[in-house]
Amino acid sequence: MFCYHCMRKINEGSTYCPHCGRQSFPDRDPHYLAAGSTLNDRYLIGNPMGEDGFSINYIARDLNIDERVAVKEFYPMGLVTRDSAISGRVSLKSEQEDFRASFERGKDKFLQEARLSRQNGTADVRDIFSVNGTVYVVTSLTRDMRTAPAAPDGAPLPYEDGFEGGAGQNSNNVTDIAGKPPQKKKVSGGMIALIVIASIVVAGLIITMIVLFSGKGKGKNDQAATTVPTTVASTTVETKATQAEDTSVTMIDVKGKKLSDAQAQLLALGLKVETSREQNADVAKDYIIRQSVEGGQKLQKGDTVMLYVSDGYEEVVTTQETHAAPVFTSAQGSSALSGYDAENVLNNDAKCWATEKDGKDAFITLRANSDQWVKGVYFGNGNIGDFQNWGRVTNVRFEFSDGTSLEKSISDISDLQTIDFGREVKTNSMKITILDSKTGSEHESACITYIKAY
């Protein structure tokens, strides 16, 4: 069992993590991947570390080498949506061709940037893959996991600027995940304009001083005549300086401050503020836990900053905690090899259910004598007694008697694994359909050894 926040091992049933000191609760925001789910049969996903409007960074565990990593998911907020309680797949907010074209262009540039970072050594890119309708980049986990400001909610992102230079380059660069410094930027047009204006101001001051000193000893008429061009030059410089007024602001650190004070300070800077509340045992109610943009980063007036505000923490006893452990008494499979019946999954005795052929679209149905409250299952994949020689499942769909369903990825490991549904379901049956599987070295039949609801 791992802590959702730091992905280090903790004892089964522990509430507080001894490593990071936080309560190991999964983030339930539906647009995030469900904490505890597995990507690509290899990466166990934890809570998100941040998002920047076009991607989401997750802390994760590489199950193959048992090491913590960072997983960056391409998720442009203005273009896609997801309800992780149903599925990890992303879907476009609109089927219009320009939405799809923008998404595909952004995805291609996201992958190009990752590959370039790997080639030139600016980021320790370990893996790149496509699943859930989008793409992912896996890097080493570092202490400095920064994210850039999020785009306004619902606004499509300027991908050409974001991936190829301009204001969005730093936030889109895969190098930021690895904590290494970004490459130097070119001088922008705005900087050139400021240099020109400064030069004009200096020239105006020099002209004024020359006129003043040359006017000493002359008559009043001469002095009056010389003041006209000086006034015109000064007015011109003033007008240009006004047009090039700098609208950038520097973000301040408001973590630990009271919400009302933080809002007042940010509004005074010309920034917009949105809030999100969450339970937290370490931060007092109505005080800031974290902010979407770190202090010291440059923003433009009118940009939106998200503040995460503590709602305190109360141990609420709900009816869910009084529910008895779920018990399913029978199992029936759509097909089975002789001697490998579906009923075997109810007993943790190394005997398994084996499908005919590769098992794709085969299903097994567990039934109970009455409605049960189920939060997830303990799952024994493959034939635990002969793991490598027999086929294993990689993706399954759970269907319940209340009409709901969800899809889950299954890790290719011989150890018992936990599949968390992310919610509690009231059901008297559980149908598990094999969506994908992999064949063994000797048998193509997909196997499941153990299924126990909790």
Query: CA-to-CA distance for 53 and 154, rounded, in angstroms?
Result: 10
The pLDDT value recorded for residue 1 is 86
323 and 317 Cβ atoms separated by less than 8 Å: no
Residue 146: closest CA among 112, 185, 178: 178
Type of residue numbered 289? I
Please give the average per-residue pLDDT across 261-269, as a whole number.
Answer: 93
Beta carbons within 10 angstroms of residue 447's beta carbon: 29
Return the minimum-mean-pLDDT range out of 112-121, 223-232, 296-305, 427-436.
Answer: 223-232
174 and 124 Cβ atoms separated by less than 8 Å: no
The pLDDT value recorded for residue 202 is 55
- % the chain with pLDDT above 70: 76
The phi, psi pair for 434, rounded to 5°, reads -80, 115
Beta carbons within 10 angstroms of residue 373's beta carbon: 17
- % the chain with pLDDT above 90: 57
- 248-310 CATH fold: Trypsin Inhibitor V; Chain A (3.30.10)
The pLDDT value recorded for residue 233 is 41
Return the minimum-mean-pLDDT range out of 33-42, 214-223, 288-297.
Answer: 214-223
- Please state the pTM of the whole predicted model: 0.37
> What per-residue string of b and e applies to 265-300 under the rule 16 or more CB within 10 Å gives b?
ebeeeebebeeeebebeebeeebbbbbbbeeeeebe
**Residue bearing the bigger pLDDT, 387 or 242:** 387
Query: CA-to-CA distance for 162 and 103, rounded, in angstroms?
Result: 13
Q: What is the pLDDT of residues 118-176, one digit of tens each?
A: 888 888 899 999 999 999 999 998 755 543 333 333 334 443 333 333 333 334 455 44
**Residue bearing the bigger pLDDT, 356 or 240:** 356
Beta carbons within 10 angstroms of residue 30's beta carbon: 12
- 321-453 CATH fold: Jelly Rolls (2.60.120)
Alpha-carbon torsion, ordered 20, 22, 23, 25, to 10 deg:
-80
**Residue bearing the bigger pLDDT, 421 or 25:** 421
For residue 236, name the pLDDT band (cuts at 50, 70, 90): very low
The pLDDT value recorded for residue 451 is 96
Output the CA torsion sign for 111, 114, 118, 119. positive
One DSSP character per residue, 304-350 reads EEEEEEE--------GGGGPPPP---EEEES---TT--GGGGGS-SS
Q: Average model confidence (pLDDT) for the chain?
A: 81
258 and 236 Cβ atoms separated by less than 8 Å: no
The pLDDT value recorded for residue 28 is 83
pLDDT at residue 184 tops 70: no
Residue 288: closest CA among 266, 318, 271: 266
Q: Domain locations in the chain?
A: 38-178, 189-243, 248-310, 321-453
Q: What is the pLDDT of residues 388-410, one digit of tens each?
A: 999 999 999 999 999 999 999 99
Beta carbons within 10 angstroms of residue 160's beta carbon: 14
Query: CA-to-CA distance for 76 and 52, rounded, in angstroms?
Result: 9
pLDDT at residue 222 tops 60: no
3-state secondary structure of 298: strand
Q: What is the pLDDT of residues 64-106, one digit of tens each?
A: 999 999 999 999 988 899 999 899 999 998 888 888 888 999 9
Query: CA-to-CA distance for 378 and 398, rounded, in angstroms?
Result: 13
Strand partners, 395: 409, 436
For residue 204, name the pLDDT band (cuts at 50, 70, 90): low
Q: Which residues contact 97 (CB under 8 A, 6 or more apart)?
A: none
CATH number of 38-178: 3.30.200.20
The pLDDT value recorded for residue 142 is 75
Query: CA-to-CA distance for 136 and 40, rounded, in angstroms?
Result: 10
The phi, psi pair for 67, rounded to 5°, reads -145, 150
The pLDDT value recorded for residue 96 is 87
Q: Could you say which DSSP state residue 195 is in?
A: H
pLDDT at residue 239 tops 90: no
Q: What is the pLDDT of residues 374-385, one digit of tens each?
A: 999 999 999 988
Sheet (strand 43-51) strand order: 38-39, 43-51, 55-62, 67-74, 134-140, 125-131
The pLDDT value recorded for residue 321 is 59
245 and 193 Cβ atoms separated by less than 8 Å: no
Identity of the highest mean pLDDT range in 216-230, 238-252, 426-440: 426-440
Please give the average per-residue pLDDT across 355-360, as a whole number.
Answer: 88
**Residue bearing the bigger pLDDT, 357 or 244:** 357
Burial class (CB in 10 A: 0-12, 13-18, 19+), 321: exposed
Please give the average per-residue pLDDT across 239-250, as a whole number.
Answer: 67
Q: From residue 187, how far is each of 52, 169, 258, 298, 300 by CA, in Å?
A: 24, 13, 39, 16, 18
Sheet (strand 288-291) strand order: 272-278, 304-310, 288-291
Residue 78: closest CA among 136, 150, 5, 138: 150
